[in-house]
Chain A
Amino acid sequence: MVLTEIWTSLIMWFFYALIPCLLTGGVAILPAPQNLSVRSTNMKHLLMWSPVIMPGETVYYSVEYQGEYESLYTSHIWIPSSWCSLTEGPECDVTDDITATVPYSLRVRATLGSQSSAWSTLTHPFNRNSTILTPPGMEVTKDGFHLVIELEDLGPQFEFRVAYWRREPGAKEHVKTVSSGGIPLYLVTMEPGAAYCVKAQTFVKAIGRRSAFSQAECVEVQGEVLPLALALFAFVGFMLIFVAVPLSVWKMGQLLRYSCCPVVVIPDTLKVTNSPQKLISCRKEEVDACAMTAVLSEELFRTWT
């Protein structure tokens, strides 16, 4: 009787001693990350979770994934994520892991030193065809009369459809397919005085979906207006032409007249002949003498005739 009592109490003490071992040995005290979700925009997929807080410690996280193929044929195989083996932040860019349009399972666990938490798995597998597609960013510019646009570079999986039209009633909408963004693209040569509008949407062949069209952006080309300097030069030029030409014509006429037409007749008194009357050189002081001489000459001429 006493022996059985001793035996029972020994067993009880043994189990009491074991309890702390059971608590600290096999069971992880590091909690698993919670609230796993995937945010996917324009084929960029981000796995996010609530961080595991351990005061004074840095917790690292590891991510693994499993495509539909693995879950159906090799369910024990989980593939480590390309970028997130022991990552610090509570998020992981799984874009390079999700490479087919099938449901993917994702799981995360926290690691602190040698301890690891249990795996926390995404509730609903993620299929990349549920990505949110936004209208593409677009820059519309004028290069002279050329309408040029540059679309946002969203990567090799994206194609673009660009629609442009003249802003007038009944105008036809033209559509152009662009295989990649990030480079300037010539659309059309605009007519002066007209406004042109452009809008664009993306298309992802891998998931067979398009985004909505972006807001239409319109540009206008002014009527032909010469720059001021050019206008001034043109005015001066015109003036020169309208003034210089008649002037030169008139001058030419004058020259021709002088060269072609007969010489002007010189009066008799200015003719130099072998006459008895000598040429009188009249200097100012000898004006009176000249005058007397002239009178005498006249009288002589009169008596002679």
Chain B
Amino acid sequence: MKLQHVSLWLLGAVLILCLMHTRGLRRCLISTDVHHIEESFQEIKRAIQAKDTFQNVTILSTSETLQSIKPLDACCVTKNLLAFYVDRVFKDHQELNPQILRKISSIANSFLYMQKTLRRCQEQRRCHCRQEATNATRIVHDNYDQLEVRAAAVKSLGELDVFLAWIDKNHQETSAA
């Protein structure tokens, strides 16, 4: 009888912890309006993708990498990919066209803001990095390194719409702030 009570209590405690854990991840939200960033990108998408000469290669490896990410790993992968874009892609891309430069600046600064929001989540321990998330990030970096820097940067910029759609799907707000 006592053993039954103890095991039931343990099960309840585990369930509550799991619930809080996943709830916390879902709530690790980016309050930025991702649609606004998507709109900015739509205006330069054609120009950027036209510069991509390696059509058969992908850096974000959509079907293998992004789509297979579990909700538990979403926060960590988002954080890592934001850092990938901010620390590598935007810096490696040299843009001369002022209109395109303006839009890339807008996206880069919005990413910086999203990183700050996620950092708050991380401080509250709601953005834990498991092995799967780290592996997925490494695949993206490896894909990037296999190409020449400028070509890799242009290709990664061209795949921004895929990345933004993935963020939108994983971090939808359930209620107004």
Contacts and interface: CB of A to CB of B under 8 A. Distances in A.
A109 to B, nearest CB: 17
Contact of B176 (A70, A77, A82, A159): A159
A73 B92 CA distance: 11
A100 B33 contact: no
Contacts of B33: 157, 205-206
A170 B4 CA distance: 50
A202 to B, nearest CB: 12
B50 interface: no
Given A79-B98, A159-B176, A68 B36 contact: no
A99 B40 contact: yes
B112 A68 contact: yes
Given A73-B91, A205-B31, A208-B177, A82 B102 contact: yes
Interface in A168-182: 177
B91 A80 contact: no
B105 interface: yes
B17 interface: no
Interface in B83-123: 86, 90-91, 98, 101-102, 105-106, 108-113
A69 interface: yes
Given A82-B102, A205-B33, A73 B90 contact: yes
Contacts of B113: 100-102
Nearest to A72: B112
B134 interface: no
B176 A177 contact: yes
A160 to B, nearest CB: 11
Interface in A40-98: 67-70, 72-74, 77, 79-80, 82, 97
A67 B40 CA distance: 16
B177 A102 contact: no
B105 A79 contact: yes
A298 B109 CA distance: 139
A77 B109 CA distance: 14
A104 B109 CA distance: 9
A74 B176 CA distance: 35
B109 A100 contact: yes
Nearest to B116: A102
Contact of B105 (A69, A72, A177, A208): A69
Max chain A C-beta neighbours (<10 A), residue from B31, B32, B36, B112 = B112
Please report whether the interface of chain B is mostly helix, strand, loop or mixed according to DSSP: helix
Contacts of B176: 159, 177, 203, 205
A179 to B, nearest CB: 10
Contacts of B111: 69
Contacts of A101: 32, 113
B177 A74 contact: no
B109 A206 contact: no
Given A79-B98, A159-B176, A205-B177, A99 B91 contact: no
B106 A100 contact: yes
Contacts of A159: 176
B176 to A, nearest CB: 6
A102 B116 CA distance: 10
A19 to B, nearest CB: 41
A101 B36 CA distance: 12
A156 to B, nearest CB: 8
Contacts of B112: 67-69, 72, 100, 102
Nearest to A100: B109
A270 B91 CA distance: 134
A206 B36 contact: yes
Contacts of B106: 67, 99-100
Interface of A: 67-70, 72-74, 77, 79-80, 82, 97, 99-102, 104, 157, 159, 177, 203, 205-206, 208
Interface of B: 31-33, 36, 40, 86, 90-91, 98, 101-102, 105-106, 108-113, 176-177
What are the 6 closest A-B residue pairs judged by CB atoms, nearest first?
A: A100-B109, A67-B109, A99-B106, A69-B108, A100-B110, A69-B109
